[in-house]
Amino acid sequence: MKKYELFTIIKPNLDNDEADKIVAKVEETVKTLGGNVENSERMGRKKLAYEIGGFTDGFMVNQTMTLPQDKVADLKRQLRLNEAIIRVMFTTKEIA
């Protein structure tokens, strides 16, 4: 398994509880795919540098996880299907 970092921006028109449910759903999806979320940092609602999908701010979450390489495409597909998530950055984390 490789280590990955997932940065997501969730729509700001949701309240804090709904945003937390979205984060929990992402964590559940990772576990279903055979991975493990090691760290989940909720950064709160922040102003965006530019407008995304008509929104000027959003809830930002940074997660560190391990996931089998053959399940990465499945996770990315699940993230794209979630309408509450407006932007995703998924990167491989270098192990020092």
Domain ranges of the chain: 2-92
**What pLDDT, on the 0 to 100 scale, is given for residue 93?**
84
Q: What is the pLDDT of residues 31-50, one digit of tens each?
A: 999 999 999 999 999 999 99
pLDDT over threshold 90, residue 95:
no
Strands 55-67 and 85-92: unpaired
Tell me the helices (H) and strands (E) count for the chain, helix number first.
2, 4
Cα separation, 71 vs 82, in Å, equals 17
**Percent of the chain scored above 70 by pLDDT?**
98
User: For all residues of the chain together, what is the average pLDDT?
Assistant: 93
| Second CATH level (architecture) for the domain 2-92 | 2-Layer Sandwich (3.30)
Model-level pTM?
0.90
pLDDT of residue 96: 61
Of 65, 4, 67, 8, which Cα lies nearest the Cα of 38? 65
